[in-house]
Structure 1
Amino acid sequence: MLTNFKYKIIAFTVLVASLSSCKSGVGYSSKGKGAVLKSDNFKHYVDYFNTMEDENLKFAIPNDSAWAWMEKNIPLFECPQQNFEEIYYYRWWTARKHIKKTPLGYGITEFLVDRSYADKYNLIACAVGHHINEFRWVHDPKYIEQDVKIWYRGNDGKPMNKLYKFSSWTADALYNRYLVNKDEKFLLDMYPDMVTDYAVWEKDRQRKDGLFWQHDVKDGMEESLSGGRKVQNARPTINSYMYGNAMAISKMAEMKGDKEAEAKFKAKADVLKQLIETKLWNKKSEFFETFTEKDTLAQVREAIGFIPWYFNLPEQNKGFEKAWEQIKDEKGFSAPFGLTTAERRSPRFRTHGTGTCEWDGAIWPFATSQTLTALANVLNNYNQNFVAKTDYFKQMNLYVESQYYRGRPYIGEYLDETTGYWLMGDRERSRYYNHSTFNDLMITGLVGLRPRADEKIEVNPLIPQEKWDWFCLDNVLYHGNIITILWDKTGEKYGKGKGFRIFKNGKEIAVSEKLEKLVIE
């Protein structure tokens, strides 16, 4: 058992002066050991993954260094359902592939192969929010911090040329990262960049009525049922993103003591909230929909209608939560291999995106991870009776099952909703597509560690009581401490006693006889 654990304070300097990073406010574990789990017990996964391929592309951390990097950097996870465990380690193994050394520090790529529409160093801005939310659990902060600084200061001190090619929720993601590591210095160093970022989007994409418009292709969701590559629609995506960013910037301003900016951005968020709830909500379909450039609702449900809950935007007790019934409806979004990107009852379902980018119904991990993040928020933060833990576990289970191809772990671009076939699975570009989250969902959703700004530790597992007899999430670096969360129905698996237990730096701080929400001072 680890007690009196000491952490190293990491200070690093990015190679270009304009990108020099602040010293990180928290340390990171370099031991690779938890209070309960032994890292060596999971090395076999990486040994297997390394045999699955001829490593034709090598970047900052090649396969032969993968386990050494993972052992130092990732939380450990164990459960009785082997595919959950395997995909958990597989997704860390693949995320590591995308760490790339550049002249300006580390960057995080989306594709391993070069793409013509990427920025310098093959970086693409579409999934930066996903990258931040996933990498916030990596112990060493330099990878994601340097990536963010490249995006915002890597063009002679200015943003990269293609930063605004895609909608983003970067400010929200950076604040959520702060809730994990409490590194106020880095967050506030990025604060001016986030304020400027918001102003750019207001100038380029805000309509007269206050909503934001976007081409679906620049939402990273081309060939959707509601939009088009050149259509200027007010989509739930960009409007929810801008709400989340405004709320995050307001909180950053509060941390700085800038009451004027705090109130200004809170007011921007409030206006967007009201517009989304009134203009994007279709009372007939009981769903958030795209508001077209013709000022009419699109009259089709798409997975992007769940995104407002990604940011806890919809007001409680106004009937909005009824939208979540659609994830259980086979005519809605429920399919054999997960959640579709458009409702299956639509006569246009998977009709006009076929063979290109199919956001007209096929399953995309990008959208799945957004929807599951939103669903976890609903289950944690809303009083409702439309969805339950069983629904979350079912969809996480399908998400796990979908991440296999030809019998081996795989993550790519998108897949058929009924067969599970990866539609770009035989293309080199699609392998290891870094365009979604998974381990963040495992930590904050399934196991239920809910990041907070205060020093309370909140854990609310979304695992049904009788599903697993045991599980353990260990070596989680949270607020500078190592957190361990375990469930042992009989007490025989881990020898710590029966029940649900939480440890801080190896010391037990909470226990319950059942899997339930715990909030510890």
Structure 2
Amino acid sequence: MLHQFKYKIIAFAVLIAAFSSCKSGAGYSQKNKAAVLKAADFKHYVDYFNTMEDENLKFAVPNDSAWVWMKSNIPLFECPQQNFEEIYYFRWWSARKHIIKTPQGFAITEFLVDRSYADKYNMISSALGHHIQEFRWVHDPKYLEQDIHIWFRGNEGKMMKKLRTFSSWTASALYNRYLVNKDDKFLLDMYPDLVAEYAAWEGDRKRKDGLFWQFDVKDGMEESLSGARKFRNARPTINSYMFGNATALAKMAKMKGDGKNESYFIAKADTLQKLVETKLWNSKSEFFETFTEKDTLAQVREAIGFIPWYFNLPQKDKGFEKAWEQIKDEKGFSAPFGLTTAERRSPRFRTHGTGTCEWDGAIWPFATSQTLTAMANVLNNYSQNFVGKTDYFKQMNLYVESQYFHGRPYLGEYLDETTGYWLMGERERSRYYNHSTFNDLMITGLIGLRPRADEKIEVNPLIPQEKWDWFCLDNVLYHGNIITILWDKTGEKYHKGKGFRIFKNGKEIAASEKLEKLVSE
């Protein structure tokens, strides 16, 4: 009897563990359950991409396996504007090119070709935050998790030697990933590593006044108008990143029940918020600017001045949102092919030549995706009248249009703001440059699924109602469930009724006649 009872206890424990794993993890064991769209309807994109050019470099998921991988791992998307749909699938197709198999597991690269300044396995940390934001929507968690483990523990149990070569918002990005898959086990296992990384930045990049300094090249933004490769400036980048990291670490500490560290990191974030608002805000230009090593403002607006909103740093109703007028100003950041990295009115705009990675004005997808993430936060979390859904859609549309070269989908390093020509487009190193996000912007910005820590599902589409008569985002793995979001103006496209609808595992949970914010209870 005791023997039987013992095995019943063991069996029950196994069931509990399996349930906990499914609940806390990404729910990857759950089969894809797209409620509306059929994956086969989008295979033609991959067939086309595979024939666009020779596949001269093959890694963990070669072209002939791309569709199988995508069908198993990505949310499906459909809309009436074909270029949006094409670039959505192209970005997933190109992202999986960067998955490599190493002796320590999967890693995610920035360049397909080897770079002399990379760490082991051709890994570069500059866009790690972007990789986390984008790959958090991939159903199988192993690619991103193994990449993170290599970065932080791949050097004989310690962080890789070049992890901190570039400024980092990794802790913030990993918390954002947790908001999608609710895997607290993975996040809290990484918590000590992330705390150590924060302390390391404080050790060699913190100024006496509490701000952080960085060389522009170590922000991945060399030859900027406000900095230089050897100028130790307090830039909006690293200071916003460290605010975001401190905020995330405070939330992780709370999850652990560690009240002491929760208070510690809340205080860190509060201090940085005050410093950024008081020292980096130029009241004359009404913009966040670089504070130079000479303790003066740079007196030039750059796209990095939008980054504080990437982390919801600026306090509300203090007038900071006026900075966003600059994305609509042709003398500011508005250009025919997107958002420039420096204001066009500056006499030094695009004065550093081309072909050597200049951040003096040309359009960089890295910066575009940061700015659009920040803009979505402004539209969701701030009350202001400076930008709206129309402005967001315009910039997303330009971002889509820019991702073509020689008439084919293309992703490179940076491009001319007036011609749309990719400045390194003919160079092998530029192809499929994994240095930005796009599909995360589609999911969290344009379609508007806003990840949350609770179990409510919030969707706030930033598509003006008159733009598209229908669209559908399906097979989104979120909190272990499959989410479907659709808009059908007439009800004749998807036959689910007129209007805007959210489904959870195929069951409708929220609906509206208008294309507006919905929160399921």
| Contact kept? 2:23, 2:480, Cα under 8 Å | no
The answer to whether 1:457 aligns with 2:457 is yes
In structure 1, the partner of 2:306 is: 306
Secondary structure class of the residue paired with 2:48: helix
Contact 2:26 2:477 in 1 (8 A): no
Q: How does 1:83-102 map to 2 (within 5 A)?
A: 83-102=83-102
The structural deviation recorded for 1:346 is 0.2
**Equivalences for residues 27-66 of structure 1 within 5 A:** 27-28=27-28, 31-66=31-66
* Paired position in structure 2 for 1:495: 495
What is residue 121 of structure 2 aligned with on the other side? Answer: 121
| Conservation of the 8 A alpha-carbon contact between 2:24 and 2:182 | no
Give the deviation of 1:358 after TM superposition.
1.5
Task: Write out aligned runs for 1:329-408 (5 A).
Answer: 329-408=329-408
SS at match of 1:28: coil
Deviations 1:347-370 (A, max 9, x none): 000002533112000000000000
How far off is 1:373 after superposition?
Answer: 0.1
1:415 alignment partner, SS class: coil
Paired residue type of 1:300: V
Deviations 1:46-95 (A, max 9, x none): 00000011111000000000000000000000000000000000000000
The answer (yes or no) to whether the contact 1:223–1:352 under 8 Å persists in 2 is: yes
2:277 is the alignment partner of 1:280: no
Cα pair distance change 1:10/1:475, threshold 3 Å: farther
Cα distance in structure 2, aligned partners of 1:355 and 1:440: 29
Alpha-carbon distance in 2 for matches of 1:25, 1:94: 26
- Bigger radius of gyration, 1 or 2? 2
Corresponding residue number in structure 2 for 1:214 = 214
| TM-score, length basis structure 2 | 0.95
Structure 2 distance, partners of 1:270, 1:408, is 46
Go from structure 1 to structure 2 and tell me whether the alpha carbon gap of 1:347 and 1:105 turns closer, same or farther (over 3 Å shift).
same
CA distance in 2, matches of 1:41, 1:415: 32
Asked whether the 8 Å contact 1:403–1:409 carries over to 2, the reply is yes
Question: Is the 1:50–1:63 contact (alpha carbons within 8 Å) kept by the matching residues of 2?
Answer: yes
* Runs of 4 or more consecutive aligned structure 1 residues displaced over 6 Å after TM superposition: 8-12
Match in the other structure for 2:291: 291
For 2:130 and 2:246, locate their aligned partners in 1 and report how far apart those are by CA, in whole Å: 18
Q: How does 1:208-247 map to 2 (within 5 A)?
A: 208-247=208-247
Aligned to 1:486: 486
Please report how far the alpha carbon of residue 9 of structure 1 lies from its aligned counterpart in structure 2 after TM superposition: 7.0
2-structure distance, mates of 1:473, 1:188: 30
Q: Deviations over 1:297-354 (max 9, x none)?
A: 0000000000000000000111100000000000000000000000000000000253
- The Cα of 1:11 is off from its aligned counterpart by 12
Distance 1:109 1:351, change over 3 A: same
User: In angstroms, what is the RMSD of aligned CA positions?
Assistant: 1.5
| Paired positions, count | 505
Q: For residues 410-425 of structure 1, what are the structure 2 equivalents within 5 Å?
A: 410-425=410-425
Provide the C-alpha distance between the structure 2 equivalents of 1:237 and 1:366, rounded to a whole number of angstroms: 12
Segments of structure 1 that go 5 or more residues without pairing to the other structure are 1-7, 13-21
Deviations 1:449-506, CA, capped at 9 Å, x for gaps: 0000000000000000110000000000000000000000000000001000000000
Q: Distance in 1 between matches of 2:262 and 2:438?
A: 32
- Per-residue deviation, 1:29: 5.9
Rounded to whole Å, the distance in 1 between the matches of 2:27 and 2:275 is 42
Q: Which has the higher helix share?
A: 2
The aligned counterpart of 2:139 is 139
Amino acid corresponding to residue 392 of structure 2 in structure 1: Y
What residue in structure 2 maps to residue 433 of structure 1? 433
In 2: Cα distance, 1:171 partner to 1:517 partner: 28
Write the letter of the residue equivalent to 1:371: T
Whether contact under 8 Å (2:182, 2:479) holds in the other structure is yes
The answer for unaligned runs of 5 or more in structure 2 is: 1-16
Deviations 1:148-182 (A, max 9, x none): 01000000000000011000100000000000000
